[in-house]
Amino acid sequence: MNAETLLSRLRAELDDGGLRGSFLVRDLRTGYEIGIDPDLEFPSASLVKIPLAAATLERIRRGELDGSAPIDVQPGRATAPGPTGLTRFRHPARVAIDDLLYLSMAISDETAADTLFALTPPAEVTRMTRDWGVSGITARHPVADLSDTPAERFDPTDVHLAHALAINAGTAGQGHPVPQLDVTRASSGSARAFTSLLEALWTPSKVDDGVASRVRELMGLNLLRQRLSPDFVSDATKWSSKTGTLLNLRHEVGVVEHADGGTYAIAALTESRVPAAIQPEAEVLMARVARALRDHLRAGHVCALPDTGISGMCSTHRLISPRTSRN
């Protein structure tokens, strides 16, 4: 199947399943990539914790922060479904910065992430990401804002009303009365931007090697594996990722490393038209689309260079060599 036929089929499947998405798969050994609307910007939700972790680790490397330093953390006392870790604690805790990084990345703990944001504010995280040569990712607010949406104001039996608002109130330019869903006010990024960040963490780049190695390790410890993981985990592969969820948004970005040396960065950012909080079918569908794109590249279908007229669907990003040393 050629790229055009594959992408047409996958777009139809997404539409039939009530999803719109920004997908990109990049072969980190060759630079070839294939995607669906890879430059479409979305609120990033918890995906922002990846650049936050990298920025925190860079400041530790510079000696500006001490990873072993204990931080007094106030309890989140969350009662609504969803939040994890310190966000659900009822009593104050003292946690080292290194351990806050683990909680933020492995179980997507919002209180842990915001404790890190208090040390390195969103604007500084954005600046550092730009300094690494990664554009298109912007951190704008604390992660706790993700738990202050209309969904928390409805009774659990009426949560579908919050999703209906999320679906129907957006503008053509991706503005939204819910600030966490407005790409000009929320932390945001696209599949291409997050794929470029993954590339910077998995291949030689301006990111320090030790910083990148620790972020890769933290992403490998991710315990939230209901989304893309089932299609990429096996005894012969390693899947390292981070999820992001907010109202009708479901995201995951990660890297699959095969025993034969193949390494693919994968980003799937989606929004649903179905007003329901729990949608396992959407999880399955976005994984199936990401897997089909990866399978196309892995099969060697380097089919459509930018001068073919279908640029942006299947193209060459840039040729890169396997990780050896960093700039």
What is the DSSP code string of 219-246?
A: HHT----SSSHHHH-BTTEEEEEEEEEE
Asked if pLDDT for residue 145 goes beyond 70, the answer is no
Helix 191-202 and helix 49-62: axis angle, to 10°?
A: 30
pTM for the model stands at: 0.85
142 neighbors 114 (Cβ within 8 angstroms) = yes
What is the band of 312 on the pLDDT scale with cuts at 50, 70, 90?
very low
Top pLDDT among 313 and 271 is at 271
Q: How many CA atoms lie within 13 A of 141 on its CB side?
A: 19
Among the ranges given (34-48, 52-66, 136-150, 299-313), the one the predictor scored with the smallest mean pLDDT: 299-313
Top pLDDT among 105 and 325 is at 105
Among the ranges given (108-112, 118-122, 284-288, 311-315), the one the predictor scored with the smallest mean pLDDT: 311-315
Q: What is the mean pLDDT of residues 283-300?
A: 94
**In whole angstroms, what is the distance from residue 253 CA to residue 128 CA?**
20
What is the band of 234 on the pLDDT scale with cuts at 50, 70, 90?
very high
Asked if pLDDT for residue 211 goes beyond 70, the answer is yes
Q: What is the mean pLDDT of residues 139-166?
A: 58
Give the model's pLDDT for residue 174. Answer: 58
